[in-house]
Structure 1
């Protein structure tokens, strides 16, 4: 049976959702974040040297990296589900969005999380204005423009089609769910992003998404408050 090493409030929620969409049997090993650092506990290093989540054990093999896990599970167990036909135009888009999620979408969101914390972190009184000034400039000149550009780009993509790869739901939408939920929480969707908001509404309404939440436990984006 598949085993998912699931860290609370993390990318591994996507893997639970994928497995529910594929209607596969699996077991979960739960891990809690450190309450102060929000980092994964050391116990994950017993499964993989880097100690990151998600991790999946499949037939004695430990799989890491969200997109790689999704692609392997879809190919091994999907029986043609959750991906477009090989070589089709939708397949090219599918691969693009599978890797865009972590390669392009997440870095500015992670930078925003880091620099938001730098600006509010405890520090000697004479350093606080310097740290806030640096954090404010990085956000204003780098992070916010990148996030605004990505939000506009993604809104346009979903205005042109129902799902990221085309008109059929795929694992690419599962991969894109985490950065879009993070973007909604950390940057926001307004009246000018109806298609992004609609995407989140559609995925949240999927029965498999809801079953994954029931099995994985409460889910929120770290650093969203």
Structure 2
């Protein structure tokens, strides 16, 4: 049985959405990241040495980070078709968008939240405005589908769609009809609805 170490209202929601899309059985184990004592769980620390959520235990396979977890799960369950096969040309773009979140969106978000002056030369993520523009271009145009890989929903949309939703929730998403429409499409997916409902149900006291 898969165990997902998770904390409500965190990026761990991506991993839960992914599991819901796959329709596989899993256990949820809440780790209150505000409580250092909660992080001493041996199974959690084995999967996540840095003490960060999400983390996943799947028998002998243990790992952390939402991108790594989504990549792992998509490849473990190829019959669910949430990742292009290794010989599919779309695999290249799929991998690009899977790492776009931790490699570009999240550092650009942190830069904006912290009022760090952008430096497109020194910072590998470019800057916040370029990050938004690249995402808009990927979703806009008559030759583009509703999802990042065209007509096919994939784990890349779990990663990017959930993060775009965070941007909107935190009121730092620019006035982008293209991205707002994309978020709305993600929010209508039953698996995302179930994940958000579980997140709300297990919300920790403030």
Which whole-Å CA distance do the structure 1 matches of 2:201 and 2:89 have between them? 37
5+ residue gaps, structure 2 = 121-125
CA contact (8 A) 2:33 2:52 kept: no
| Of 147-156 and 77-86, the range deviating more from structure 2 | 77-86
Which residues of 2 match residues 41-52 of structure 1 at below 5 A? 41-46=36-41, 47-48=44-45, 49-52=49-52
SS at match of 2:85: coil
Q: What is the Cα deviation at residue 104 of structure 1? A: 1.2
Q: What is the Cα deviation at residue 208 of structure 1? A: 0.5
Greater length-normalized contact order (CA 8 Å, ≥ 6 residues apart): 1
Which whole-Å CA distance do the structure 1 matches of 2:5 and 2:167 have between them? 25
5+ residue gaps, structure 1 = 35-39, 116-134, 221-225
Which residues of 2 match residues 1-225 of structure 1 at below 5 A? 1-34=1-34, 41-46=36-41, 47-48=44-45, 49-113=49-113, 115=114, 135=115, 138-139=116-117, 141-142=118-119, 146-160=127-141, 161=144, 162-184=146-168, 185-190=170-175, 193-217=176-200
| TM-score computed with the length of structure 2 as normaliser | 0.82
Which whole-Å CA distance do the structure 1 matches of 2:196 and 2:140 have between them? 28
| TM-score computed with the length of structure 1 as normaliser | 0.75
Distance 1:12 1:78, change over 3 A: farther
Q: What is the Cα deviation at residue 215 of structure 1? A: 2.2
Which whole-Å CA distance do the structure 2 matches of 1:172 and 1:12 have between them? 15
CA deviation profile, 1:39-91 (whole Å, cap 9, x unmatched): x6442353222100000110243221211111111111342511123222211
CA deviation profile, 1:129-159 (whole Å, cap 9, x unmatched): xxxxxx5xx34x559x821121122111100
Which whole-Å CA distance do the structure 2 matches of 1:159 and 1:41 have between them? 44
**Structure with a larger share of its residues in helix:** 1
Which whole-Å CA distance do the structure 1 matches of 2:110 and 2:171 have between them? 10
Runs of 4+ in structure 1 off by over 4 angstroms are none
CA contact (8 A) 1:74 1:81 kept: yes
Q: Specify the structure having the higher radius of gyration (Cα).
A: 1
Q: How many residues align?
A: 189
CA contact (8 A) 2:55 2:64 kept: yes
Distance 1:3 1:92, change over 3 A: same
